[in-house]
Amino acid sequence: MRGRDPQVARAPRRRGRPLAADADRYELYQRSVQSPEFDIALMTRIYRTHNGRPPLRLREDFCGAAALACAWAASRPDRSAFGIDLDPEPLAWGALHNLRALPAAAQRRVQLVQGDVRTVRTPRADLVAAHNFSFFIFRERDQLREYFRAARRQLAEGGLLMLDVLGGSDTQTEDREEVRRIGGGVRYVWEQKRHDPINNRAVFAIHFSFKDGSLLRDAFTYDWRMWSIPELRELLAEAGFAFSEVYWEDADGDTGEGSGVFRRRNQAPAEGCWMAVIAAGTLPPGRGAARRTGTKTAKSGKAAGRSPRVRSDLFDHLFGGNSR
């Protein structure tokens, strides 16, 4: 996360302390952007497809306030999680608000670590998650390959690295904003500030506006390289992953907008703005327990190797329901 010094804009001709001045940007971020329940459901189903059992240990890289790591430990009594982030501020907030909110037994199964995700060593995990496009901070191929190699070293046999990816022509449009109400008189604003087509570098920001007219500007800012799916899959292979697969959001047959269902795909239609999930594995497909034994996946009842489909509102969390 970035935006350590957000700017508060006072509402014109208003007296008193602006609501933006007392806003908790991490609480607003979690309310408007994150969906750990969806992430857990999707990761569990994909992992079970390949391994025939649920994943138990999660490492959340670039964890910020560790909402996913904490939700993971709370989801089952036999699950544990590690959260890694370089920035001490969101880690401290997450320890106070997310970790402390868990039952004592679940708290003991979560460990938060301040450090570089490329060098921090933890017990090998079933899943390593790098969500919310966090790895886009690596703008050079060597940097990103180094991170992928480090993530692979942290995975147990049959483990998966989970990445989400953002793209489409609309993400290359400068001075564009998407606004969405998140309740309590607060609006979430996603701004696309700049895009450089030569190096595919882009700058985005999250703002929050309030019912008194005040604005928490640049609550979070992001300076990313917009990596393409082929680039990422090539780097994953170079880093030693045995395979990678892409989960793409289906389009609604009537409206053409995102349906909230993610399906494994080898090809996809061109869309103005899209989000996908990449799963990269340490074992070749067919060597996991599910594919060897023909175990069926939980909930869906479909034979292993079939493409799991998971409903999600994650895209809408970022861009609103009419952004496609």
pLDDT digits (tens, 9 = 90+) for 177-211: 899 999 999 999 999 999 999 999 999 999 999 99
* Same domain, residue pair 98 and 145: yes
What six digits make up the tokens of 124? 């090998």
- The CATH number given to whatever domain includes residue 76 is 3.40.50.150
Its domain, for residue 186, covers: 7-25+174-224
pLDDT greater than 50 at residue 304: no
Domain identity same for 103 and 157: yes
Are 44 and 124 part of one and the same domain? yes
pLDDT in tens, 133-142: 999 999 999 9
What is the number of domains present in the chain? 2
Residue 324 lies in a domain: no
Q: Are residues 246 and 285 in the same domain?
A: yes
Are 105 and 153 members of one domain? yes
- What pTM was estimated for this model as a whole? 0.85
Residue 313 is predicted with a pLDDT of 42
Same domain, 82 and 116: yes
Query: Do both 160 and 178 map to the same domain?
Result: no
Mean pLDDT of 268-290: 84
DSSP lists the bridge partners of residue 57 as 80
Band the pLDDT of 262: cuts 50, 70, 90. confident
Closest-CA residue to 126 (of 70, 52, 71):
52
User: Are residues 198 and 235 located together in one domain of the fold?
Assistant: no
Task: Kindly give, in sequence order, each residue whose CB lies less than 8 Å from that of residue 170, ignoring residues fewer than 6 positions away.
Answer: 176, 272, 273, 323
Q: Within a domain: residue 2?
A: no
Residue 88: other Cβ atoms inside 10 A:
10
Tell me what pLDDT residue 251 has: 67
Looking at the fold, whether 241 and 220 belong to one and the same domain comes out as: no
Q: State which amino acid sits at residue 218.
A: D
Instruction: Give residue-wise pLDDT tens across range 225-254.
Output: 999 999 999 999 999 999 999 999 776 667
Does the structure show a pLDDT above 60 at 93? yes
3-state secondary structure 11-69: CCCCCCCCHHHHCCHHHHHHHHCCCHHHHHHHHHHHHHHHHCCCCCEEEEECCCCCHHH
Q: What is the pLDDT of residue 321?
A: 41
